[in-house]
Amino acid sequence: MSMFDQLTAKPWAANQGKVDDLYGGRASAGLAKKLALRVFLAVVAVLFMLLVVAYGRRMAYEDWRPSPQLGLLWANTFALVLSSVALQWARFSVRRGQLDAMRVALLAGGAFTVVFLVGQVLAWRQLSTMAYFGLTNPAIAFFYLITGLHGLHLLGGLVAWGRAVTKVWGDFDVAKTRQSVELCATYWHFLLLVWLVLFGLLFTGNNLDILLKLCGIR
């Protein structure tokens, strides 16, 4: 190599492509995960929307008998709200670099979610003690279907939450952890919104006219 080549050489440029590929790959992977989550949430939203419409249409039949309004569902709803708030707190904390607060918030979000799921099981038990467990009443069948399907999606979310929790102790990649926390928070906010709609459906859905207007059927 000549002296001119040595003076004009850019030793950092040799690795610049690798660095660009590294960060570009991370960005692409992050965008892909966000896009995949959005597509999944869109599919789930359509699924629950179809259930709501089916619920409204089924109410028009003469054999429809309203399901009992369980007060326990209010407590369960409050627990799910707290879990969503906790995960939003975790999102803010990891963005600000407050890792200890993020850990506490992440654990709190999972704990409140478990409380919600346990409460849903207790609601099922209440119905069974009230002799409502039989599926001959279509309103009760819809109650089990709607709450069970929502609970399954939350259980799936807890799997992703558990993977995020395992990453936040010891030495960990803050960028990857931030992405996991943000995806979990987005998922929880979505399921909270879905539950609020379903909760209103179960408590006010006995009024057929209001429900059909909300569904756009009337």
pLDDT by 10-residue block (mean), the chain, 218 residues: 48 46 54 85 92 81 73 92 96 88 93 96 83 64 89 93 83 76 93 91 62 55
Domain 15-214 sits in CATH 1.20.120.80: yes
Per-residue pLDDT tens over the stretch 55-100: 878 777 777 776 777 788 899 999 999 999 999 999 999 888 888 8
Q: What is the mean pLDDT of the chain?
A: 79
Render the chain in DSSP notation, one character per residue.
--HHHHHH--TTHHHHHHHHHHHHHHHHHHHHHHHHHHHHHHHHHHHHHHHHHHHHHHTTSTT--PPP--THHHHHHHHHHHHHHHHHHHHHHHHTT-HHHHHHHHHHHHHHHHHHHHHHHHHHHHHHHTT---TTSHHHHHHHHHHHHHHHHHHHHHHHHHHHHHTSSSS--HHHHHHHHHHHHHHHHHHHHHHHHHHHHHHHTT-HHHHHHHTT--
- pTM equals 0.78
